[in-house]
Amino acid sequence: MTRLCLITRGDDAGSCDSANRAIREACKHGMLRNVSVMVSGPAFAEAAAMFADLPGICLGLHVTLNAEWNGPKWGPVLPPARVPSLVDDKGFFTSAPSVLHARGVDIEQIMSEVEAQLDRARAHGLDIQYLDEHMGVGWLPGLRERLAQLAQREGLVDAHGFPSLPAAPAGERDSDVVATWKTRITHAAPGTTYVLVTHPGHDNAEMRHFYHAGLTPGQVARERDAERRALTNPQLRQWLQDSSVEVIRYTEAAPSSSGR
């Protein structure tokens, strides 16, 4: 009997080659079942080629309206002149949703960009089946409702409707990713479907360019490499099976939430 269902998701496909390869590895040799694609990312074309025909994987549109890193930057799919409230003076996205809020972003420009991202994903052969948000941007006034309407209209699962695994209690936190995930799952309510959001990567020179204020040098690369290794850890997969935890795709979780 299934104790709980776990939607395993890898974010930021398309952000760089390191992320693309790590996510593909976690899909082919690990427990990753859902891939969120950053269409405006600099490595999107590579991601589309890698994931368009990958069997057993559910692909999602990772709605991207910000570029948070001091290193790599990205901007809109639409010409910057069509979405001026979304970009800085160089045509890149701003660093955070709070910046968009402070400058009074135009929600119609947002929706035009989101639809352009979806169109571009499909034009590259990606069968997009769900929609989620980079940096949780959906809290911007009025946007959550518009994204839900878009998902319903396009027959996509709205990822916003699924809870994340609960955080590990303060006294049971561990620096080891596998141990932390086990603790979070152990404290999760049975009979519930949860999402485990991950950001797989490789600890290499490319990923070490992902940084911003408040992080130590190489922190992002180390953390994302640790998540990649955890997702491909055979002992963790066996533990999940022994614990009656079913690893699933979004489309297997809630057919009533999808138009498919």
pLDDT along the chain (260 residues), means of 10: 93 98 98 98 98 96 98 97 98 98 97 98 98 98 98 97 91 88 95 97 98 96 98 98 97 57
- 34-37 and 58-63 strand pairing: parallel
What per-residue confidence (pLDDT) applies to 171? 78
Report pTM.
0.95
Rg of the chain's alpha carbons, rounded to an integer? 18
Domain boundaries, the chain: 4-257
Look up tokens 């949860």; give the residue: 194
What per-residue confidence (pLDDT) applies to 28? 97
The answer to whether 114 and 144 have CB atoms below 8 angstroms apart is no
What per-residue confidence (pLDDT) applies to 172? 82
Phi, psi for 247 (deg, rounded to 5): -90, 125
Residues 6 or more apart whose CB falls under 8 angstroms from that of 58 comprise 33, 34, 35, 129, 130, 249, 250, 251
What per-residue confidence (pLDDT) applies to 174? 79
Residues 6 or more apart whose CB falls under 8 angstroms from that of 175 comprise none
- The alpha carbon of residue 49 and the mean position of all alpha carbons in its chain are separated, in whole angstroms, by 18
What per-residue confidence (pLDDT) applies to 254? 58
What per-residue confidence (pLDDT) applies to 181? 96
What per-residue confidence (pLDDT) applies to 170? 83
Domain 4-257: CATH superfamily is Glycoside hydrolase/deacetylase (3.20.20.370)
Look up tokens 């040799």; give the residue: 29
